[in-house]
């Protein structure tokens, strides 16, 4: 597989409400690569994620995500960028009054799908990928936490994204369930998607080693497993 960069940042500053959170951010993520983003609460992990999906603007430096140059990105083009991204949060963010199937259909309609047969096929494809092909008729509260997070991952996969951004996806899950989610995310990266995962869970990092970037003292740097404190 040839090296192809899906995320590239050069000398980017990350601001949250006019406060400088990270400076001189330089990083590259290749297609099919799995990368951990670690650091203490408030160190800038979520702010960096928000910058990557254009929730926070890039004011200086160069930033390219899924082929979009973020400093030049117009507001009307943000939905086009986000169709290339799959975003997974810690708290699932499912619509509680709709079935799993309807949760996915809601996202598909919002991102421009209109062919019912194609939607149904894609729906079953992503639910099968996450091991929930028989659960589409259930409501979120009828599923376990791990199953709800699998639905959130299925939702992130609906538009066949180039990049998955996962912000503490195992934060509310027990260790066994967390490992299942990790195996799923690694499988997704092995299918050719870049996966960046913010986490505090160092036990998972030890069990599923991959490249690590650490947010600390307003900077991002690569570290090894032995340097984790």
pLDDT at residue 163 is higher than 80: yes
Domain residue ranges of the chain, discontinuous segments joined by +? 33-50+77-227
75-88: pLDDT as tens digits: 999 989 999 999 99
Instruction: Label residue 191 exposed, middle or buried (CB < 10 Å: 0-12, 13-18, 19+).
Output: exposed
Q: What is each CA distance from 226 to 160, 199, 218, in whole angstroms?
A: 35, 17, 22
Region 80-99: mean pLDDT is: 90
Indicate the average pLDDT of the chain: 92
Q: May I ask the CATH architecture of the domain 33-50+77-227?
A: 3-Layer(aba) Sandwich (3.40)
Residue 80: CB atoms within 10 A of its CB come to 15
pLDDT at residue 190 is higher than 90: yes
Residue 1 has a pLDDT of: 35
């Amino acid at each position: 597989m040839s090296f192809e960069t899906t995320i590239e940042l050069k000398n980017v500053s990350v601001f949250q409400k006019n406060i400088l959170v990270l400076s001189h951010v330089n990083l590259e993520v290749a297609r099919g690569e799995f990368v951990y983003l670690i650091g203490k609460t408030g160190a800038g992990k979520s702010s960096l994620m928000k910058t990557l999906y254009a929730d926070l603007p890039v004011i200086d430096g160069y930033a390219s995500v899924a082929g979009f140059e973020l400093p030049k990105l117009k507001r009307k083009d943000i939905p086009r960028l986000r169709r290339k991204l799959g975003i997974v949060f810690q708290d699932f963010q499912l619509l509680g009054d709709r079935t799993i199937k309807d949760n996915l259909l809601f996202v598909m309609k919002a991102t421009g799908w209109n062919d019912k047969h194609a939607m149904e096929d894609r729906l079953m494809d992503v639910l099968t990928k996450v091991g929930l092909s028989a659960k589409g008729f259930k409501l979120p509260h009828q599923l376990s936490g791990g199953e709800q997070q699998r639905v959130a991952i299925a939702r992130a996969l609906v538009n066949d994204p180039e990049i998955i951004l996962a912000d503490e996806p195992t934060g509310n899950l027990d260790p066994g369930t967390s490992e299942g989610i990790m195996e799923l995310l690694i499988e997704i990266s092995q299918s050719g998607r870049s996966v960046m995962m913010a986490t505090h869970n160092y036990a998972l990092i030890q069990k599923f080693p991959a490249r690590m970037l650490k947010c600390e003292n307003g900077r991002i740097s690569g570290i090894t497993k032995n340097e984790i404190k």
